[in-house]
Amino acid sequence: MTHRNALIEGTGIAGPALAHWLGRHGMQATVAERTPAPRERGQTVDLRGAGRDGARTMGLERTLRAHATREEGIRFVDAANRSKASLASGAFGGQGPIADLEILRADLSRILYEETHPHTEYLFGEEITRLSDTGKRVDVTFRNGTDRAFGLVVAADGARSDTRDRPRKVGSGRS
């Protein structure tokens, strides 16, 4: 790899999380997000297992806890509101069906963005329109017409990613 820089497509959860780790290992990350600003929609996300370990090793667990929903647990009641069963969020070491570290997706995304912002280049309202891997670098054209070269391109643009199809689209002239 001749270029020590990386382009990440998508400012959701995976994009800024990867920017964090690349930054720690001395790579300059650029994150392109097609919406004009970080997306603030979404419901709650439970952090347990690998997600919690990841937050801890990133040094973010305390910040995430400060923004947690602090859900106490779940209680099943009958028609007269009498409690029939309950499960506290602290059960199973806080990592059971109701995790003790639950956060709104928008808060999780924003915290990751704010943590990485000082050492990461964010391009909002931008996306890749052309992608060509030369073997030594990846040549990228952005929606605004700018051409740039990166050592690595990572598609972190969600479950409905269309970036993963781009090299084939370029090859078939459909970019």
Ligand X SMILES: Cc1cc2nc3c(=O)[nH]c(=O)nc-3n(C[C@H](O)[C@H](O)[C@H](O)COP(=O)(O)OP(=O)(O)OC[C@H]3O[C@@H](n4cnc5c(N)ncnc54)[C@H](O)[C@@H]3O)c2cc1C
Nearer to ligand X, 2 or 172 (CB): 172
Tell me the closest approach of the beta carbon of residue 76 to ligand X, in angstroms. 23
DSSP one-letter string for 38-62? ------EEE--THHHHHHHHTT-HH
In the bound complex, which residue of the shown chain has the CB atom lying closest to ligand X? 12
Interacting residue ranges for ligand X, rule: CB under 6 A = 9-15, 32-35, 39, 41-43, 45, 105, 127, 156-159, 162-163
Tell me the closest approach of the beta carbon of residue 17 to ligand X, in angstroms. 8
Tell me the closest approach of the beta carbon of residue 156 to ligand X, in angstroms. 5
Nearer to ligand X, 41 or 77 (CB): 41
Tell me the closest approach of the beta carbon of residue 97 to ligand X, in angstroms. 14
Nearer to ligand X, 9 or 100 (CB): 9
> Residue ranges of the alpha helices (H) in 6-164?
14-24, 50-57, 61-66, 105-116
- Tell me the angle at which helices 105-116 and 14-24 cross, rounded to the nearest 10 degrees: 30
What's the CA gap between 76 and 99, in Å, rounded?
Answer: 17
Phi, psi angles (nearest 5°) of residue 4: -95, 40
Nearer to ligand X, 25 or 41 (CB): 41
Distances, alpha carbon 60 to alpha carbons 55, 105, 128, in Å: 5, 15, 30
Q: Are 152 and 6 in contact, with CB atoms under 8 Å apart? A: yes
Tell me the closest approach of the beta carbon of residue 66 to ligand X, in angstroms. 20
Nearer to ligand X, 124 or 136 (CB): 124
